Amino acid sequence: MNKILIFGVGLIGGSLALNAKNTAFASHIVGVGRNQDNLDDAIKLKLIDRISDDLEKDIADSHIIVIATPVAQFPSILKTIQPHLASHTIITDVGSTKTEVMKSAKEILGVQYSQFIGGHPIAGSEKHGAISADIDLFKNKNVILTPDETTSPHARETIESLWKNAGAVVSNMSHTEHDKIFSTISHLPHLLAFSLVDMITHRSNANELLKFAASGFKDFTRIAASSPEMWKDITLDNKQFILEDIQHFENEIKLLKEAIQHEDTKKIFALFENASKTRNKWSQ
Amino acid sequence: MNKILIFGVGLIGGSLALNAKNTAFASHIVGVGRNQDNLDDAIKLKLIDRISDDLEKDIADSHIIVIATPVAQFPSILKTIQPHLASHTIITDVGSTKTEVMKSAKEILGVQYSQFIGGHPIAGSEKHGAISADIDLFKNKNVILTPDETTSPHARETIESLWKNAGAVVSNMSHTEHDKIFSTISHLPHLLAFSLVDMITHRSNANELLKFAASGFKDFTRIAASSPEMWKDITLDNKQFILEDIQHFENEIKLLKEAIQHEDTKKIFALFENASKTRNKWSQ
């Protein structure tokens, strides 16, 4: 019965489409995007039934609209949707930041803002594009929804069932709490990984450095292979929390640097031991 | 024909022992260590033929002595070896830093310093102990040897053949060059990963942060599970280069922070794109 319209049929949008279609959660899936080659891949891989050729109509008669593009495009997409939005349609997104998205949706959708609920599947990867779509991408993964006091119960239920159907574990929290948490555990590590690789490329012996870099470097910098466009958007969107976390990390590094300068063996060991114990105990 | 004596039968020492024994490079392998349980594991897993019960004799009649303990123990081990060292015996180590080790060996071994050659197999892991030993650990991995003008050709040939026999790709460079390179591509990332995990443990919502941390965080922090003792030693041994690299990284982060503060989209994108392109092109 469900018709789903997906803006941005990349890794996340494509995987969700593939899952919703193959589990019969959706009867009809339509894709929209800027990149024709990627949309052609999505058709070939049967992620979507068709590419939208009448966007106004597809907006008007969809049950669910999923915005799965880089976050900077959300405002213009919401403006495209708004004039044609039926009262029964639920809109969600899959962006890695939530405060700015909720603000845009509120401003642009006006009285229909109750039909919007922010979402964030914690199932990213450095891979991108429709060709990376995976039907099991969300299985046992966390998906965070960020409803507020305006969000309709129907919106909450619809999007919760969309994700549960894909095998995800759904949690609800405020957009502020979300952005604060992900600044620390996701955005900051990405910036550190990008920065380390960038730093190395500016060395005169960059090639030799990369030649001898091994498995530790490989894993540490895997996220530095992520989409620059997506991460530029996330960084600007979540600017305040990210700047706070960079500051905290700078303080942490400064303390370690001083401990090394003073050869404070006990302090260095205590820091490493605390991190090592925590990381060894932690399992995803 | 070869008898090998190994100080420290952990991941590296144990894997080298297992390989040398099973390929018949060594006819007899003897282990020494501080941890009796670990040595018992090494015997059970047939990594070594026996635990040394007469260290003076085992030192005197070994063809190769491998020091594979944390680097802080090297001076006292070299002092134990020196009085009993025969003229035909070659000594090497597997430490992650080379300048301090070469200095110690020169001081302690005196005229017999020509029998020592520093080595570093680039095949670490966050795993440790004899139980993690893997016969193929060094296959197609880089091993760096750091001979100097004193090193005997026999020492170079012997240790090169030991590693080539284990499937490794052997390179030679100066201890200074080695320590400078590994500060950047290995030691700095370890310190950053330890620091991020340590920072998170001090947050009041540490458990919630770790609950939502996902695959990017998992890979980025894998090296934070490494041995605190080993990394405390490496950090102090390679203090100068590490402090320089921390300084460079602080500068890099400062520039990114300023770009974010000024919402300098172009600069942020350029940095991310440069890192992403480099990391995508790089393969180990």
CA distance A86 to chain B (A): 34
pLDDT digits (tens, 9 = 90+) for A181-229: 999 999 999 999 999 999 999 999 999 999 999 989 999 999 999 989 9
Q: Are residues B131 and B58 in the same domain?
A: yes
In degrees rounded to 5, what are phi and psi of residue B121?
A: -75, 130
CB spacing of A214 vs B186 below 8 angstroms: yes
% residues pLDDT > 90 (chain B): 94
pLDDT of residue A284 exceeding 80: no
Q: Are residues A251 and A270 in the same domain?
A: yes
pLDDT of residue B21 exceeding 70: yes
Chain A, 152 to 191: residues with Cβ < 8 Å from chain B are 181-182, 184-186, 188-191
Contact assessment for residue A41 and residue A16, using Cβ atoms and an 8 Å cutoff: no
H or E segment to which residue A32 belongs: strand A26-32
pLDDT of residue B88 exceeding 70: yes
In angstroms, the CA A16 to CA A37 distance is: 19
Any idea which residue has 């430490």 for tokens? B95
Q: Is residue A207 less than 8 Å (CB to CB) from chain B?
A: no
Any idea which residue has 């041995």 for tokens? B227
CB spacing of A272 vs B208 below 8 angstroms: no
- Residues spanned by the domain of B10: 3-173
Q: Are residues A144 and A203 in the same domain?
A: no
Three-class SS state of A280: helix
Phi-psi region of A265 (alpha: psi -120 to 50; beta: other; left: phi over 0): alpha
In angstroms, the CA A199 to CA B195 distance is: 18
Beta bridge partners of A168: none
Q: Are residues A169 and A207 in the same domain?
A: no
- Which of A173, A190, A210 is where one domain is finished? A173
User: Which are the contacts of A7, defined by CB distance < 8 A and separation ≥ 6?
Assistant: A13, A32, A33, A65, A66, A67, A68, A69, A73, A77
- Which of A173, A207, A233 is where one domain is finished? A173
User: Which are the contacts of B182, defined by CB distance < 8 A and separation ≥ 6?
Assistant: A212, B96, B97, B120, B238
- Predicted pLDDT at B126: 63
Q: Are residues A155 and A48 in the same domain?
A: yes
Chain B, 26 to 85: residues with Cβ < 8 Å from chain A are none
CATH code (residue B53): 3.40.50.720
Q: Are residues A249 and A196 in the same domain?
A: yes
Q: Are residues B262 and B202 in the same domain?
A: yes
- Predicted pLDDT at A85: 98
Strands (E) across chain B are located at 3-7, 28-32, 50-51, 64-67, 90-93, 116-121, 142-146, 169-172
Query: For residue B284, what pLDDT band results from cuts at 50, 70 and 90?
Result: low
Nearest to A58 by CA among A113, A6, A112, A116: A6
CA distance B257 to chain A (A): 7
Select the residue from A137, A191, A279, A281 to test the B interface by mutation, using most B Cβ atoms within 10 A: A279
- Predicted pLDDT at B283: 78
Contact assessment for residue A130 and residue A39, using Cβ atoms and an 8 Å cutoff: yes
Query: For residue A70, what pLDDT band results from cuts at 50, 70 and 90?
Result: confident
pLDDT digits (tens, 9 = 90+) for A26-63: 999 999 999 999 999 999 999 999 999 999 999 999 99
Query: Among A196, A212, A276, whose Cβ lies nearest the Cβ of B181?
Result: A212
Number of domains in chain A: 2
Q: Is residue B200 less than 8 Å (CB to CB) from chain A?
A: yes
CB spacing of B220 vs A222 below 8 angstroms: yes
CB spacing of A222 vs B217 below 8 angstroms: no
User: Which are the contacts of B92, defined by CB distance < 8 A and separation ≥ 6?
Assistant: B64, B65, B66, B67, B116, B117, B118, B119, B145, B155, B159, B162
pLDDT digits (tens, 9 = 90+) for B147-194: 999 999 999 999 999 999 999 999 999 999 999 999 999 999 999 999
Any idea which residue has 């239920």 for tokens? A157
Query: Which pTM value belongs to this model?
Result: 0.89
% residues pLDDT > 90 (chain A): 94
In angstroms, the CA A73 to CA A211 distance is: 38
CATH code (residue B265): 1.10.3660.10
Residue of A nearest to B171 (CA): A212
- Predicted pLDDT at A190: 97
- Which of A150, A173, A196 is where one domain is finished? A173
Q: Are residues B58 and B169 in the same domain?
A: yes
In angstroms, the CA A155 to CA A77 distance is: 19
pLDDT digits (tens, 9 = 90+) for B241-275: 999 999 999 999 999 999 999 999 999 999 999 99
Pairs of CB atoms within 8 A across A/B? 272
Query: Among B123, B186, B272, whose Cβ lies nearest the Cβ of A217?
Result: B186
Phi-psi region of B129 (alpha: psi -120 to 50; beta: other; left: phi over 0): left
Q: Are residues B54 and B99 in the same domain?
A: yes
A96 CA to centre of own chain: 3
- Predicted pLDDT at B264: 98
Say what the ipTM of the complex is. Answer: 0.89
Three-class SS state of B16: helix
